[in-house]
C-alpha cells in the first residue's frame, strides 16, 4: 500500500535526525508512522523521528527556558484554561453591565479568544496606543475591556497563554540555532514564524504541486447527489483495491454527517454492522454529543432544573441508565407522568410518581438518595466537584449497559481524562456552584474530540487542511463551490477595521486568499495520480456556482444518485383477505357507556380501546382542561344537591343561604378533585397555578349559581331520587356499568335522567342506527319509569340550559314540542322511541361481542381520534381514490 505521505520529501531531515515541524498533529503522526514502516523493513529496532507540531516544539522550548532560568517561572495555560478565563471574565462583566447581554456567553468567549489570538499573532501588541482604536464601536469597546481584564487576570494568576509564551521566547538571546524543517502549507502566522526564525534555522519543505487546470471536474444536481456519488465511489474503490482513498470535504462541518450516512448505506453499516465502517474521519465528534455522555449530562443537570418531557422520556429509554428495563411497570410510570399534564418533569414530581407507581424500584431509590443529598449545595473547588460528578454517576449506575460495544468502550475510556480536564480548570477559576461545575464539565467534554479506532482505514475523509501533505491512490475533492474556494473575505467583529487593515490580515486580502486557494488545488492535484473535483448546481432549491478556479466540467451527472432506485420502485399491493372476527372472551364482556359510543362511532375504535385496552396519551395542557372543569362542576353539583334534595327545598333557600351553599360545595369539590390528582401523582393546583385555580373557583361558583336559578324555574316539582349510583345493564350478554349523574322523580312518579355537560351536543346525536351519544339512551333502558332524558349544559361564557327529549318534562323550552317533532319523525311515543333504542343498542353490543372491528368511522368520528396511525384510515382513503381514478383496462 502507498505510504501515507511522500517520504522522499522528508528524507533529508529524517535520515539526519533533524526536527520536522508540521502545522498539525495529523501530518506529524502520518510522517512518523510512514517512516517507522519504511525503516522496519530494514531493521528490527527503529528510533522515533523528531516530528511534531510547531506549537508543541515551541512550548517545549519555552519550558526548557523556564527550567534554565532564562524566563520567569509561570503557568502555561492550555487553550481550554485560557477559554475558561475568558468565560469567567465575560460572565462577571455581564453581571455588572446594564443594557448589554449575550445569549451564549461561551460562544462570545470563543470569539473573544479568537480575536485576541488574531491580534497577538499578527503583531497587534506592537501598535502604538492600540486600545484607542477600539473606542468607536460598541462591540470593539467591550472587547477591549475584556482583553485588558484578561491580561490582568493572567498576571494575578502568574500565568501566560501560548501566544504570550511565544512573545517571551523572542527575548531569548540568539545562540546556536538548530536546523529544522518546516512544512510550508498552510503558512504560519507572523508571530509564530518570527519566533521560529529567531530560535532556529528554518528550511521550508515544499510539497509537490501540479497544474490544477488538469483536474477532472464533475458536476451534480445537488449536494445530496454529490455526497452519495462520493460514498458510492469510495465503496467501489474498496472492493477493487486496497489502495489509499480519500474524500476531501471543503465544507466539513456541514457535509460530514450527511456523507457518513451515505457511506454507511453504501457499506451496509447502518444496523448490526454499525461499528464496522472501514472509514477514518479526520474530524471526530465531541464526547458531549455522544449518546453515552449526553445522557450522563442530562441526569446531572436534572438536579438543577426540571427536564422537558422529551428529555425525561429519553432518559427512561436510555441504555446507559438502569431505567429502560422496568418492563410494564416502566410503561405505567411513563403514562402516569404524562397524564400529570405538566410540560416539564422535576426531580420532586418524578419521585412522587415513581413512589406511587414503582415504590421498590431502583429508580425510586436513586431519586430518594438525590433528594436527601446535600453535596450539590454551596460552592466548591472544581477538583471537589469532579468527585461529586463521579459519585453521582455511580449512583445512577452509569453506564449501565453491559457489555459496552467497541465504540462505547473507547468513549468510556475518556471519562477520567474529561475529569482531569475539569480539575485543570481549578487552577484558573474560583470556587464554583454545582450548576457552573456541570456546565464546565460539558465544556470539557465538548473540547475532547472522540475518533473511533477502525480496523481498516484505507478510506479517509479529510478536511481541506488535513488533506495537505498526504499521499493517495485516488482523491475526490467534494464541494468545490465558489463560496468556499477561494475563501470569502472575513473581518472580525471584535477588531476595528482600521486595526485589521494596519495588520494586513490575510482574511481581508482577496489576492492572498486567491493565491492560497490556487496553492491548495495544486498540492491536492499532486497528491494522487487520480484526483477528481466536484461541485453541485443547487443548494436548498437555489442555484449554486462552482469555484472560478476549476477547469471546465468533464463529467456532468444529471442522474439521480439519491434516493436509491429501490426506494422509487412502486411497491406491489396485495389485497389481503378480510380478517376473521375475534369473538369476545369473558374478560371483554363488560364495560361502560363509552364502549357503545365507540362501537357506534367506529367498530375498530371500540376494538382497540376496549378489547386491546390501548389508552390515549393526553396532549400537554396550559391551564385547566374541559374534562377537569367538568369534573369540578360534577362534584360541586353532587354536593349541592345532596344538601338540597328537592326543588321545594331549593325554592325555600334564602339568598345568603344559597350563596353559602354554593361556596361550600365548590370549595369541597375543588379539595376533593385536588386530593384525587395528588393520589395519581401530581397537583392540579400546582400545575395550573394559584391565579388560574382561584379564577376557576369563581367560574365554577358562578355556573353553579346560574344552574340553581334555572332549576328553581322548572315548571314541575321534583325531587332528586339518586346521584352517581352504579347500575348494571345487560345487552345480550354484554354487562355495562352505568352511572347516571342524577335521576329526578316528579310527583306523578315519572322519572327523568340528567347528565351534566360543559358543552352539550345536539339531541339528534341520540338518534339513528349508530347514535353518536348513546349514553342517555342507555340510561333510558334502566327503568321503565324513566320517561325523559336531558343534558344539563353548563358552558363557561354562555347561558346554562337543558337539552331534553321527552314530553311534558317541565324544563322550559326543552321538551315542549311533541315527540315526533323532537325526533324528526323517528318516533311518536316515548315507548316507541325506547323500543328503537333497545334494538339499536343491543345490535351494537352484539357486534362488539362477535368481534366486529371494521374501519368504518361515522362522519366526523376521525376528527379528534388519535388512532389514525393504527387504522391507516387516511391511507385507505388515498388508495380508494387512486383506484377510482385509474381507468379500467
The separation between the first and the last C-alpha atoms of the chain, rounded to the nearest angstrom, is 61
Give the pLDDT band (50/70/90) at residue 571. low
Query: Which pLDDT does position 889 carry in this prediction?
Result: 46
Q: What number is the average pLDDT over the span 837-849?
A: 94
357 within 8 A of 336, measured Cβ to Cβ: yes
pLDDT at 338 exceeding the cut of 70: yes
CA dist 512 and 705 (Å) reads 83
pLDDT at 566 exceeding the cut of 70: no
Nine cell digits for residue 769:
342506527
Q: Tell me the three state secondary structure of residue 450.
A: strand
Of 134-143, 454-463, 734-743, 805-814, the poorest mean pLDDT is in: 454-463
Count the neighbouring beta carbons within 10 Å of the beta carbon of residue 219: 18
Half-sphere exposure of 42 (CA within 13 A, CB side): 6
Give the C-alpha distances (Å, rounded to integers) separating 183 from 7, 22, 205: 13, 5, 5
For domain 587-594+617-767+780-828, say whether CATH 3.90.320 is its number.
yes
* Size of the chain, expressed as the number of residues it contains: 889
Give the pLDDT band (50/70/90) at residue 618. low
Which of 357-371, 699-713, 818-832 has maximum average pLDDT? Answer: 699-713
Beta bridge partners of 646: 719
- Runs of H (alpha helix) within 122-199: 138-157, 162-169, 190-199
pLDDT at 98 exceeding the cut of 60: no
CA dist 589 and 328 (Å) reads 24
Q: Distance of alpha carbon 861 from its chain centroid, rounded?
A: 33
Residue 684 is classified by DSSP as H
Nine cell digits for residue 292:
453515552
CA dist 838 and 320 (Å) reads 57
338 within 8 A of 310, measured Cβ to Cβ: no
Query: Which pLDDT does position 717 carry in this prediction?
Result: 94
The CATH architecture that domain 288-450 belongs to is Orthogonal Bundle (1.10)
Count the neighbouring beta carbons within 10 Å of the beta carbon of residue 627: 11
CB neighbours of 250 closer than 8 A, spacing ≥ 6?
Answer: 464, 477, 478, 479, 480, 481, 484, 485
pLDDT at 339 exceeding the cut of 60: yes
User: What is the phi/psi pair of residue 33, to 5°?
Assistant: -65, -40
For domain 212-284+456-567, give the fold.
Rossmann fold (3.40.50)
Peptide bond before residue 486 is cis, with ω within 30 degrees of 0: yes
**Burial classification of residue 602, based on how many CB atoms lie within 10 Å of its CB (0-12 exposed, 13-18 middle, 19 or more buried):** buried
Count the neighbouring beta carbons within 10 Å of the beta carbon of residue 54: 20
Q: Are strands 727-731 and 734-738 parallel, antiparallel or unpaired?
A: antiparallel
- For 490-526, what is each residue's pLDDT tens digit? 899 999 999 999 998 988 889 999 999 999 999 999 9
- What are the strands, taking DSSP E only, across 307-375? 307-308, 344-345
**Burial classification of residue 322, based on how many CB atoms lie within 10 Å of its CB (0-12 exposed, 13-18 middle, 19 or more buried):** middle
Give the C-alpha distances (Å, rounded to integers) separating 691 from 620, 685, 687, 695: 19, 9, 11, 6
Give the C-alpha distances (Å, rounded to integers) separating 872 from 748, 869, 878: 53, 5, 10
- For 629-664, what is each residue's pLDDT tens digit? 899 999 999 999 999 999 999 999 999 999 999 999
Apex 577 CA angle, 571 and 578, nearest 5: 120
pLDDT at 325 exceeding the cut of 80: no
- For 18-70, what is each residue's pLDDT tens digit? 999 999 898 999 999 899 888 887 877 788 899 999 999 999 999 999 999 99
Average pLDDT score, the chain: 88
Beta bridge partners of 744: 720, 752
Q: What number is the average pLDDT over the span 776-786?
A: 94
Query: Which pLDDT does position 60 carry in this prediction?
Result: 94
Give the C-alpha distances (Å, rounded to integers) separating 494 from 88, 108, 137, 149, 682: 18, 10, 9, 15, 50
Give the pLDDT band (50/70/90) at residue 612. confident
- Proportion of the chain above pLDDT 90, given as a percent: 54
Query: Which pLDDT does position 457 carry in this prediction?
Result: 63
Half-sphere exposure of 29 (CA within 13 A, CB side): 5
Nine cell digits for residue 864:
379528534
| Element counts in the chain: helices (H) and strands (E) | 34, 28
Query: Which pLDDT does position 565 carry in this prediction?
Result: 64
Query: Sign (positive/negative) of CA torsion 222, 228, 231, 236?
Result: negative
User: What is the phi/psi pair of residue 811, to 5°?
Assistant: -110, 45
Query: Which pLDDT does position 874 carry in this prediction?
Result: 80
- For 410-465, what is each residue's pLDDT tens digit? 899 999 999 999 999 988 888 899 999 999 999 999 989 887 776 556 789 999 99
460 within 8 A of 246, measured Cβ to Cβ: yes
Q: Packing angle between helix 690-712 and helix 655-679, nearest 10 degrees?
A: 130
Query: Which pLDDT does position 97 carry in this prediction?
Result: 66
Query: Which pLDDT does position 213 carry in this prediction?
Result: 92
Query: Which pLDDT does position 449 carry in this prediction?
Result: 85
Write the DSSP string, 546-577: B-TTS---SEEE-S--SS-HHHHSPPP-PPPP
Peptide bond before residue 399 is cis, with ω within 30 degrees of 0: yes
Give the pLDDT band (50/70/90) at residue 246. very high
CA dist 100 and 108 (Å) reads 13
CA dist 235 and 56 (Å) reads 37
User: What is the phi/psi pair of residue 523, to 5°?
Assistant: -70, -45
CB neighbours of 570 closer than 8 A, spacing ≥ 6?
Answer: none
Residue 624 is classified by DSSP as -
pLDDT at 593 exceeding the cut of 70: yes
Of 189-193, 578-582, 829-833, the poorest mean pLDDT is in: 578-582
Which of 346-350, 609-613, 742-746 has maximum average pLDDT? Answer: 742-746
Of 243-252, 362-371, 389-398, the poorest mean pLDDT is in: 362-371
Amino acid at each position: 500500500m502507498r505510504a501515507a505521505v511522500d517520504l522522499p520529501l522528508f528524507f533529508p531531515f529524517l535520515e539526519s535526525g533533524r526536527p520536522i515541524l508540521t502545522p498539525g498533529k495529523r501530518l506529524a503522526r502520518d510522517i512518523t508512522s510512514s517512516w517507522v514502516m519504511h525503516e522496519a523493513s530494514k531493521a528490527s529496532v527503529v528510533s522515533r523521528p523528531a516530528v511534531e507540531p510547531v506549537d508543541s516544539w515551541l512550548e517545549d522550548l519555552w519550558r526548557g527556558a523556564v527550567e534554565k532560568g532564562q524566563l520567569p517561572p509561570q503557568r502555561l495555560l492550555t487553550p481550554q484554561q485560557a477559554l475558561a478565563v475568558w468565560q469567567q471574565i465575560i460572565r462577571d462583566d455581564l453581571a455588572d453591565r446594564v443594557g448589554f447581554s449575550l445569549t451564549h456567553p461561551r460562544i462570545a468567549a470563543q470569539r473573544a479568544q479568537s480575536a485576541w489570538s488574531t491580534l497577538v499573532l499578527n503583531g497587534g501588541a506592537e501598535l502604538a496606543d492600540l486600545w484607542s482604536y477600539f473606542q468607536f464601536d460598541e462591540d470593539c469597546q467591550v472587547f477591549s475591556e475584556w482583553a485588558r481584564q484578561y491580561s490582568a487576570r493572567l498576571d494575578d494568576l502568574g500565568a501566560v497563554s501560548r501566544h504570550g509564551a511565544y512573545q517571551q521566547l523572542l527575548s531569548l538571546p540568539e545562540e546556536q540555532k538548530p536546523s529544522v524543517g518546516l512544512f510550508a502549507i498552510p503558512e504560519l502566522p507572523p508571530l509564530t514564524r518570527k519566533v521560529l526564525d529567531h530560535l532556529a534555522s528554518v528550511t521550508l519543505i515544499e510539497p509537490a504541486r501540479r497544474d490544477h487546470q488538469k483536474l477532472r471536474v464533475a458536476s451534480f444536481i445537488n449536494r445530496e447527489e454529490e455526497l452519495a456519488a462520493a460514498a458510492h465511489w469510495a465503496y467501489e474503490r474498496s472492493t477493487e483495491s486496497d489502495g489509499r482513498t480519500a474524500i476531501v470535504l471543503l465544507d466539513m462541518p456541514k457535509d460530514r454527517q450527511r456523507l457518513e450516512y451515505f457511506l454507511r448505506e453504501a457499506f451496509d453499516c447502518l444496523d448490526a454492522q454499525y461499528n464496522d465502517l472501514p472509514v477514518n474521519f479526520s474530524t471526530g465528534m465531541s464526547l458531549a454529543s455522544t449518546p453515552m455522555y449526553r445522557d450522563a449530562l442530562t441526569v446531572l443537570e436534572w438536579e438543577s432544573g426540571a427536564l422537558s418531557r422529551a428529555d425525561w422520556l429519553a432518559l427512561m429509554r436510555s441504555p446507559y441508565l438502569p431505567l429502560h428495563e422496568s418492563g410494564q411497570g416502566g410503561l405505567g410510570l411513563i403514562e402516569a407522568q404524562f397524564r400529570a399534564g405538566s410540560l416539564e418533569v422535576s426531580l420532586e414530581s418524578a419521585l412522587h410518581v415513581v413512589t406511587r407507581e414503582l415504590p421498590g424500584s431502583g429508580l425510586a431509590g436513586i431519586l430518594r438518595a438525590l433528594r436527601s443529598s446535600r453535596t450539590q449545595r454551596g460552592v466548591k473547588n472544581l477538583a471537589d466537584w469532579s468527585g461529586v460528578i463521579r459519585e453521582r454517576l455511580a449512583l445512577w449506575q452509569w453506564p449501565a449497559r453491559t457489555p459496552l460495544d467497541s465504540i462505547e468502550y473507547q468513549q468510556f475510556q475518556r471519562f477520567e481524562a474529561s475529569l482531569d480536564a475539569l480539575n485543570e480548570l481549578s487552577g484558573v477559576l474560583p470556587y464554583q456552584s454545582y450548576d457552573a461545575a456541570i456546565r464546565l464539565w460539558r465544556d470539557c467534554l465538548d473540547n475532547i474530540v472522540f475518533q473511533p479506532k477502525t480496523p481498516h482505514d484505507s478510506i479517509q475523509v479529510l478536511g481541506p487542511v488535513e488533506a495537505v501533505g498526504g499521499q493517495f491512490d485516488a482523491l475526490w475533492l467534494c464541494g468545490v463551490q465558489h463560496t468556499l474556494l477561494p475563501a470569502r473575505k472575513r473581518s472580525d467583529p471584535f477588531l476595528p477595521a482600521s486595526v485589521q487593515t494596519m495588520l494586513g490580515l490575510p482574511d481581508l486580502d482577496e489576492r492572498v486568499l486567491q493565491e492560497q486557494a490556487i496553492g491548495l488545488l495544486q498540492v491536492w492535484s499532486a497528491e494522487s495520480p487520480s484526483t477528481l473535483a466536484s461541485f453541485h448546481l443547487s443548494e436548498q432549491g437555489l442555484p449554486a456556482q462552482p469555484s472560478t478556479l476549476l477547469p471546465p466540467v468533464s463529467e456532468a451527472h444529471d442522474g439521480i444518485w439519491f434516493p436509491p432506485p429501490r426506494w422509487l420502485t412502486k411497491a406491489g399491493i396485495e389485497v389481503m383477505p378480510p380478517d376473521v372476527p375475534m369473538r369476545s372472551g369473558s374478560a371483554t364482556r363488560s364495560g361502560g357507556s363509552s364502549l357503545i359510543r365507540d362501537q357506534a362511532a367506529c367498530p375498530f375504535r371500540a376494538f382497540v380501546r376496549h378489547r386491546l385496552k390501548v389508552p390515549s396519551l393526553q396532549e400537554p395542557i396550559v391551564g385547566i382542561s374541559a374534562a377537569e372543569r367538568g369534573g369540578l362542576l360534577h362534584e360541586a353539583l353532587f354536593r349541592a344537591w345532596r344538601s338540597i334534595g328537592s326543588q321545594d327545598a331549593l325554592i325555600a333557600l334564602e339568598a345568603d343561604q344559597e350563596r353559602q351553599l354554593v361556596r361550600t360545595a365548590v370549595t369541597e369539590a375543588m379539595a376533593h378533585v385536588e386530593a384525587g390528582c395528588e393520589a395519581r401523582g401530581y397537583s392540579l393546583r400546582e400545575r395550573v397555578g394559584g391565579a388560574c385555580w382561584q379564577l376557576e373557583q369563581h367560574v365554577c361558583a358562578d355556573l353553579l349559581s346560574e344552574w340553581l336559578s334555572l332549576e328553581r324555574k322548572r315548571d314541575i316539582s321534583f325531587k332528586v331520587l339518586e346521584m352517581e349510583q352504579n347500575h348494571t345493564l345487560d345487552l345480550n350478554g354484554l354487562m355495562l356499568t352505568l352511572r347516571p349523574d342524577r335521576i329526578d322523580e316528579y310527583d306523578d312518579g315519572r322519572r327523568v335522567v340528567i347528565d351534566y355537560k360543559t358543552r352539550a351536543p345536539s339531541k339528534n346525536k341520540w338518534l339513528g342506527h349508530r347514535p353518536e351519544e348513546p349514553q342517555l339512551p342507555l340510561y333510558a333502558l334502566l327503568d321503565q319509569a324513566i320517561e325523559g332524558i336531558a343534558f344539563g349544559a353548563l358552558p363557561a361564557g354562555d347561558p346554562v340550559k337543558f337539552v331534553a327529549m321527552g314530553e311534558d318534562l317541565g324544563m322550559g323550552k326543552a321538551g315542549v314540542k311533541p315527540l315526533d317533532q323532537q325526533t324528526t319523525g323517528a318516533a311518536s311515543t316515548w315507548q316507541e322511541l325506547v323500543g328503537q333504542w333497545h334494538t339499536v343498542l343491543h345490535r351494537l353490543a352484539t357486534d362488539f361481542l362477535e368481534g366486529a372491528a371494521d374501519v368504518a368511522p361515522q362522519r366526523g368520528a376521525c376528527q379528534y381520534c388519535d388512532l389514525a396511525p393504527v387504522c391507516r384510515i387516511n391511507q385507505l382513503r388515498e388508495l380508494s381514490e387512486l383506484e377510482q381514478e385509474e381507468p379500467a383496462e
